Amino acid sequence: MLKTLIPLLLVAHAVASPSILSHQARRAGSPWNYNQCDSSEGPMKWGGVCSTGKQQTPVDLCGAKAFDGTAPSIKFDSANWDKPNKFNIKNTGHALQLDVTSNAPVLNAGNLAFRVGRSTTDGDSTWKLAQMHFHWGRSATEGSEHYIQGVQYPLEAHFVHFNSKYPTISDAVSSGNSDALLVVGQMYTLGSSESAALTTIGNEASRATTDGVAMNGDVNFAQLVNDKASFYSYAGGLTTPGCNEVVTWIVMDSPITITRATMDKLWAVTIPGSTEKFAVYGNYRPLQPIGDRTIYTTGSSSPCATHGVKEPDFQCSTDSEAQKNLTIVSAVLGSLLGVSLLALLVLGYKVCMAPKPASTAAPNISLNADDNELKSKTAPMQSANPMFMAMPMQNISYVPTNNTFSLG
């Protein structure tokens, strides 16, 4: 019996503490995460410029101002932009990313960086595409980092460009110059159809690795951006630590459709080395204050809501209390199981070591129904116990105690 109980108790003890294993898996490999209830490494605790900066991203794109004079235009290099290409798809642990390693498309944004206050030079600038990645949430009602007029979308793509005056994106960021990067943001909304590029990315999402793997299909970036739409622009920063305030932001104001089937594939993407999905917390940063910055638009814009924006609810106090209670219950249950196991081992030892009692032949008693007399087939006992007398059957109780009997 002990051989059966011991493994069961050990398994039960392991199952009793799932929260600890899960928590370790979530924290492994990164000093920051998107869990808005994490009081040590979540978005509210990202340090450095992320918490002290005054030009942070994302923001709610509302109350935008038209450009003075002629609005700047943006133009993507059609030679490498609007054609199918093969890319490496990567799972960074924080996002699904496509790296551009050669034939990088070039974006001409005129003097946009100067117009929004990101450059001190009033002249045209060109930007090379380094990578693009996606941000999504826990469901179809959240996910984008930017909001447009108070509306959050289920998916947002960021096309990260660096100023072509730098040899690489690393050189651009490390320069610390405010005109180092330009990022184009594109929103997506659920619909009945999508581009071939989105279908390919959805099919390849589960294959993505931390080092990147060649995609089986081609992707045409022009299918991922509504580059004919109006756009918003402002001076901001990176949406991940260290939140460098070196970005000229362009966010297209018209979403592109993506099917539910492809969104399901993105929601199923897991953190490398873990079974935890990005969609447990989403991989988007909460809104940041616009402060004294100006948001510009080449289209139209309405004033921001006076009551602000209601962001998704994470119910942190409830989640924290539940986690605390689960930890306490796990500890108590584990202790009880440990004590029970020890008691069983001691009991088993005592049973094994106890001396065996000498065997004693039990008397063989029978009732003679004809004369209603109690007779013993063991003669010595019968003669030694003259008290055995005839009596009604129902009043006899048989309780062996040192070869004697109790009568009731």
The full set of domain ranges for the chain reads 31-314, 360-408
Count of other CB atoms within 10 angstroms of residue 57:
26
Which CB contacts under 8 angstroms, 24+ apart, belong to 359-367? 360/403, 362/400, 363/400, 363/403, 365/398, 367/393, 367/396
Q: How far apart are CA 314 and CA 364, in angstroms?
A: 76
Q: What is the pLDDT of residues 302-328, one digit of tens each?
A: 999 998 899 999 988 654 455 555 556
Dump pLDDT digits (tens) for 163-175: 999 999 999 999 9
CA dihedral 395→401→404→407, nearest 10 degrees, is -20
pLDDT in tens, 10-62: 444 444 443 333 333 344 457 999 999 999 999 999 999 999 999 999 999 99
Encoded tokens for 40: 């040590």
Q: CATH code for 31-314?
A: 3.10.200.10
Q: How many CB atoms lie within 10 A of CB 299?
A: 14
Which tokens in the block code for residue 294? 């100006």
Mean pLDDT of 366-395: 47
Backbone angles phi, psi at 131, to 5 degrees: -165, 165
Rounded (to 5) percent helix, strand, coil in the chain: 30, 20, 50
- Rounded to an integer, what distance in angstroms lies between the CA atom of residue 216 and that of residue 86? 8
- The answer to whether 77 and 105 have CB atoms below 8 angstroms apart is yes
Spatial separation of the C-alpha atoms in residues 408 and 398, rounded to whole Å: 9
Dist. CA 74–CA 67, nearest whole Å? 14
Query: Which pTM was predicted?
Result: 0.74
pLDDT of 367 > 70? The answer is no
How many other CB atoms sit within 10 Å of the CB of residue 228?
Answer: 7
Q: How high does pLDDT run on average in the chain?
A: 83
Closest by Cα among 115, 133, 127 to 76: 127
CA-based radius of gyration for the chain: 37
Q: How far apart are CA 107 and CA 130, in angstroms?
A: 11
Q: Which of 135, 139, 162 is nearest to 147 (CA)?
A: 135
C-alpha 200/C-alpha 215 separation (Å) is 9
- What average pLDDT does range 353-374 have in this prediction? 53
